[in-house]
Every structure is written in C-alpha cells, then in structure tokens.
Structure 1
Amino acid sequence: MQTGAITGYIDVAQLVLYAFWIFFAGLIYYLHRENKREGYPLESDRSGSITVQGWPSVPDPKTYRMANGDTVQAPNARRDNQPPLHEGAYRGAPLQPDEATDDLLLAGVGPGSWSDRADVADMTYEGLPKIVPLRVAAGFGVAPQDVDPRGLPVLGDDGAEGGRVVDLWVDRSEMLFRYLEVDVGGGSHVLLPMNFARVEQRRIRVKSILSHQFARVPKTRSPDQVTLLEEEKIMAYYGAGTLYATPSRQEPLL
C-alpha cells in the first residue's frame, strides 16, 4: 500500500474529504436554521392555526443581551402590531386597507407600509440619543452659507401653508439634519423628514401631502427624542401621501 493508505481502497486524504463534506453539510443546515430566528414561523393565508416553518424547523429560543441592558429572545411569539388589512376579491390580490381605516395615509399599505421596529430611541456610541433637535444639541447649527429654515412656512402640494418650521433635528452620529420640526397649530408639533422637503429661500415645499394633512402626521412621545418605531411611522405617512394624498394619485397614468 502507498504511504497514508489505511486499506487498499481508503486513505487519509479520502477520509479528510469525507469529513469536510459532512462538516460543510452540517454548516449549511446550522446557518439555514439560524436564519429562521426572525420572521418565522410564517403566517398562512389559509388559516391562522397553521404553522409554516419549512425544513429545517425553527430553532429553540436564544437570549440576546442588548446594549442598553435589556434582553431579547429570538425566535419569539410576538406579532407585528400592524394596521388591519384584507385581500381583494381573490387570494393573491393586493392588500387593501380595512374598511374601518378612515385615513389611507395611516393604513400601513403600499408606500405607507412600515416595519414594527423597537419603540426606543437610536443611540450614539457614547449612549446619547442619536437624533435630537438643535435646542438640545450643543455644538451643532446651520452653516452660514445655507438657508436657515426656522420660521419659514411649510407648503403642501396644494400650495397652502400647513405649518411653520420651529427647529431642526440633527443626527449627531452622521452630522446631518434628519427632520424639520413643524408647528401645525394648537401647540402641536410634527416632524418632516428632510428627504420629503424642498428648502427654498422663503418657504419649504412638500409634494407628498397636502397642507391639511400635516396635522395627522404621527407624533413623538418625547419632545426631544424620536424612537425607531416613530421614525418608521412618520416616514410611512409621507410615503403614503405620494399615492393616497389625493384620489387622482391612485388612478393609472394612462
């Protein structure tokens, strides 16, 4: 027999190859199972009592320690707190808002859909709230060569004034402005994402929603912080306006 051969038909190199195949198959199985820690089991469109998890099955719960000291288990039985939806006339039809939803901008469908993220503020590496208004962000301000939007009117797509800017919210990690804080009257303030606003010399223009719709933008619990879930809902509201702000926007272009 040659060097390294165990028998006339098996040698060490062949055993190593077989061991690698077994290890690699086990690795694929492990990674595919770990991939099901979030989003599983799936929801069946036939019955709520059906568990859809496929093969391999969902792994046992594992506890994760978060940066703020909290613990989270995954997978878990927590359901997304999404607005009620229903299908169209047949299975597979686009989801439609529930009949009880009186405002399509808050229905959570299409461009207004949102993810059920954690209802806590995003933090910087130093443990401070990441996105805050300038009134509490020492050392940040508007560059002298740029337009300071504070005090400017905010116009909806109908050309009418929906409110006035009272402050800017800065991302202390990325060094940029994320939101405009808008006073919509009655002591109520809402956030306007910068990517939905066009800052001009004497006004702020918003194409996604109309002037009267600013009052229904989802609010923040804290006047100086915004949570990840609140950001999702605020962005979704303006996103929904691109399709649902007026009845004509829901019609086909041709």
Structure 2
Amino acid sequence: MATGAITEYIDIAQLVLYAFWVFFFGLVYYLTLEGKREGFPLEYDIRGETRRAIGIIGMPAPKTFHTEYFGDVTQPKDEPLEKVAARPSSYLNGAPLVPTGNPMLDGVGPGAFTKRADIPDMTSEGQKRILPGRLLGQFSVAKQDRNPIGMQVMGDDGVVAGTVKELWIDQAEVVIRYFEIETLTEFGGRRVLLPINFSRVGKEAIKVKSILGNQFASVPGLKSQDQITLLEEEKIMAYYGGGTLYATPERQEPLI
C-alpha cells in the first residue's frame, strides 16, 4: 500500500477531508443558530394573518451576556413581538406599510428606531460620551469657524423654529453632535436637540430640510438636560429621519 494508506480504500487524506466536511457543516449550523439571537422569530403576513417563522433549525437556547454598562442581557428574548403602528397597504406578502399614527414618533419607515438601553453612551475611560458644552469647559469653537450659538434655526418651509443655545460635544470623537435649541413660544418654548448631520449651517441661520418649523415642537425630549441616553438618541434621530418622508404629504408621493 502507498504511504498514508490505512486500507486499500481508505487513507489519511480521505479521513482529513471527511473531518473537514464534518467541521464545516458544524460551523455553518452553529453560526446559523447563533445568528438568530436578534431579529428572530420573523413575522410575515398571509392574507392578513400574521404568522411567525423560526427557520429550519429552530431557535437557540437563551444565553445571558454580562456587559459592563448595560447589565445582564439575555438573547433571544422570550417576549411577544412589538406591534407597529402601521398596516400593510394590501394583502400581498411584503406589501409596504402604511402608518396608522404619527409616523415621525411611532417608529415607522425611515423613522424606525431600536430600543437601546436607556442609559448614556460611555467613553473607553468610563465617562459620559456626549455632554453639553456648559459641562465641558475644555472645548470651544475654532476662531476661524462660525459659532452656531445664537443663530436661528429654520425648518424646510422657512419658518424660524428657535435659537441655538448650546452645543453638545462628543468627547470621544471631539466633534459637535447636537445643537440645543430653544423653540419659540408658539412651538412650546422648550429645549430640544437637533442632530448636526440634519443641519446646514449658513451665514445667518441653520436650515433643516427634514422637518418643518412647527414640527420642532414635537421633537422627543430628554429626561435630563445634562445628559442624553442611547434610547433618547435613537428617538431623536428617528424623528428627523422620519421627517424626510412624512413631514409633508407631498414627500410620500412618487417623484414622477
């Protein structure tokens, strides 16, 4: 028999190949199972009836992850799926959803958000990552740049919604994340945050294309004016994101 042969029909290379096949299929099975810890079970509609799908190999056993800042997190969660404030536009499977409430607040379409932990994001040093400038004396606007504090904020309709009163700084990235706005009295006279990535800073004012001037009155607020949590960030970003489609009825119509 040749070198490496065990019998006339079996050799070491053949056994190694079989072992690789077993390992590979086991790896695929494990990754498929572990990949279902979030986003499963799936939901789909058949003729208006909602059904649940768990896939071919079922669901993984619950596993608890011990995190530094978010406590113990168990996945997958044994809880009913969240009801969305929307309905299918038809009985066809995969039909677009039509909002039934306020789509800018109900987490529908571009306004969808994840229910993250209701605690502040932290830096690698264990400090709160995003804080208002009044609590961070070491940061200031560069002299060659325009200071947004005191500038008016306008919606897409040109209506002035309020004035920038403070800048919220990301200590980890050393960038401005939010403008803190004091809305006009007719819009509630409240302090709300405007994400800088939804803003266009001009010479005289800050313009926001995603929402209208009067819609600043409904921007989700903060529990504390000195910090922002991960969940609050999600809701605020989702509100402005939802406005890109739902701020006016015309935005939901075809372009052509």
| TM-score, normalising length: structure 2 | 0.90
Judge conservation of contact 2:4–2:12 (CA < 8 Å) in 1: yes
Q: CA deviation at 1:179?
A: 0.6
1:192 is aligned to: 194
Cα distance in 2 for residues equivalent to 1:82 and 1:232: 18
Cα distance in 2 for residues equivalent to 1:13 and 1:111: 54
The alignment partner of 2:193 has SS state of strand
Deviations for 1:107-146, whole angstroms, at most 9, x for unmatched residues? 3222222222222221100111111111112311111111
Judge conservation of contact 2:85–2:108 (CA < 8 Å) in 1: no
Are residues 42 and 11 of structure 1, via their aligned partners in 2, closer, same or farther at CA, if it must alter by over 3 Å? same
1:2 is aligned to: 2
Are residues 40 and 191 of structure 1, via their aligned partners in 2, closer, same or farther at CA, if it must alter by over 3 Å? same
1:230-249 aligned within 5 A: 230-249=232-251
Q: CA deviation at 1:83?
A: 4.4
Q: CA deviation at 1:183?
A: 0.5
Cα distance in 1 for residues equivalent to 2:121 and 2:179: 18
Cα distance in 2 for residues equivalent to 1:240 and 1:192: 14
Are residues 231 and 78 of structure 1, via their aligned partners in 2, closer, same or farther at CA, if it must alter by over 3 Å? farther
2:73 aligned with 1:72: yes
Are residues 108 and 165 of structure 1, via their aligned partners in 2, closer, same or farther at CA, if it must alter by over 3 Å? same
The alignment partner of 2:30 has SS state of helix
Judge conservation of contact 1:171–1:177 (CA < 8 Å) in 2: yes
1:179 is aligned to: 178
The alignment partner of 1:105 has SS state of coil
Cα distance in 2 for residues equivalent to 1:248 and 1:68: 43
Partner AA of 2:193 in structure 1: L
Deviations for 1:78-112, whole angstroms, at most 9, x for unmatched residues? 456564211113233210112xx2x3422322222
The alignment partner of 1:36 has SS state of coil
Cα distance in 2 for residues equivalent to 1:69 and 1:244: 33
Calculate percent identity across the aligned residue pairs: 54
The alignment partner of 2:35 has SS state of helix
2:97 is aligned to: 95
Partner AA of 1:210 in structure 2: L
Cα distance in 2 for residues equivalent to 1:146 and 1:195: 17
Cα distance in 1 for residues equivalent to 2:56 and 2:3: 43
Cα distance in 2 for residues equivalent to 1:83 and 1:75: 20
Unaligned runs of 5+ in 2: none
Cα distance in 1 for residues equivalent to 2:139 and 2:53: 50
The CA RMSD measured in Å over matched residues stands at: 1.9
Are residues 198 and 27 of structure 1, via their aligned partners in 2, closer, same or farther at CA, if it must alter by over 3 Å? same
Cα distance in 2 for residues equivalent to 1:82 and 1:204: 36
Partner AA of 1:76 in structure 2: K
2:127 aligned with 1:125: no
Cα distance in 2 for residues equivalent to 1:79 and 1:167: 41
The alignment partner of 2:36 has SS state of helix
Q: CA deviation at 1:200?
A: 1.8
1:12 is aligned to: 12
| TM-score, normalising length: structure 1 | 0.91
Judge conservation of contact 1:80–1:116 (CA < 8 Å) in 2: no
Q: CA deviation at 1:187?
A: 5.0
Unaligned runs of 5+ in 1: none
